[in-house]
Amino acid sequence: MNHVTQAKVVQVIEHSKVIREYILELEKERKYNPGSFVQLTLDLVTASDIWPESRTFSIASYEKGIMKFIIKNVGFYTSRIFDELGVDDKCTIKYPFGDLFNKNFVNEKHLFIAGGVGITPYLSLIKYYELNNLLNNISLFYSAKYFKDLLHYEPLKNVLGENMEVFITREKCTGCHSKRISIENVKRIADKETNIYVCGSKSFNKDYKELLNENGYTKIYMDEWE
């Protein structure tokens, strides 16, 4: 059963002109798995109302009482969110959705592959692994066009250390790979038993799904946004 609650914006962080992080305080909270997503509507409704127009966003945090979302302004509704949702404003969220996380598999190896804003579902998953002292089971490949585009780089590096590799595709970068993620990079980290997650743009997801399939990987989980 999905839960509907109103939530108040307590902070908005502007990562760039088109990417904002919204930090919301929930009126009523319920348990959810890391890697889950919500439906967010600007309308103030309750569970018994007809659900209005909304968009889906990954929960980019795993903390009590608050939820963080990283939203890229790409179209009709996200531009409404940018215009209409500021500090102290309220919206309604319905959650949790999604099955990216399975508690039975936490002791297995996991490789998270993120392109750009596709880092969002992993932020809550990484927090879960950190809180449960299971960080040795996860690795992150994080790709972006430019180094400045990386979201939460410092905190991720502090938590993951060597288990995070950064791939920058449009500029030279020290301490990271100045190229796309290749299958050789994946093979160095992941064997056929590794659970591999992919989240990025439509073309990023398509390319890596094909590449992984062609190379015999079967435990692939996609977080597809379109």
Ligand X SMILES: Cc1cc2nc3c(=O)[nH]c(=O)nc-3n(C[C@H](O)[C@H](O)[C@H](O)COP(=O)(O)OP(=O)(O)OC[C@H]3O[C@@H](n4cnc5c(N)ncnc54)[C@H](O)[C@@H]3O)c2cc1C
Chain residues binding ligand X by CB under 6 A are 37, 55-58, 70-72, 74-78, 117, 120, 223, 225-226
Least distance to ligand X from the beta carbon of 221, Å? 12
For ligand X, the closer of residues 60 and 176 by Cβ is 60
Contact (CB, 8 A) for 130 and 163: no
Q: Angle CA(39)–CA(45)–CA(47) in degrees, nearest 5?
A: 75
CB of 53 to ligand X, least distance (A): 9
Asked whether 98 and 120 are in contact (CB, 8 A), the reply is: no
Buried b / exposed e over 49-77, threshold 16 CB at 10 Å, is eeeeebbebbbbbbeeeebbbbbbbeeeb
Burial string for 34-43 (b: 16+ CB within 10 Å, else e) reads bbbbbbbbbe
First to last CA, the chain: 24
CB of 109 closer than 8 Å to CB of 137: yes
Q: Which is nearer to ligand X, 191 or 226 (CB)?
A: 226
CB closer to ligand X out of 187 and 202:
202
The nearest distance, CB 98 to ligand X, in angstroms, is: 6
Tell me the backbone φ, ψ of residue 202, rounded to 5 degrees.
-55, -45
| Cα 48–Cα 224–Cα 194 angle in degrees, nearest 5 | 120
The distance of closest approach from Cβ of residue 202 to ligand X in the complex, given in angstroms and rounded to an integer, is 8
Q: Where are the beta strands (DSSP E) in 131-212?
A: 138-144, 164-168, 195-199
Q: To the nearest whole angstrom, how small is the minimum distance from the Cβ of residue 82 to ligand X?
A: 9
The answer to whether the bond into 96 is cis (omega within 30° of 0) is yes
Q: How far is the CB of 110 from ligand X (least distance, A)?
A: 18
Residue (7 or 70) nearer to ligand X, CB: 70
Q: Between 120 and 190, name the residue whose CB sits nearer to ligand X.
A: 120
Nearer to ligand X, 99 or 193 (CB): 99
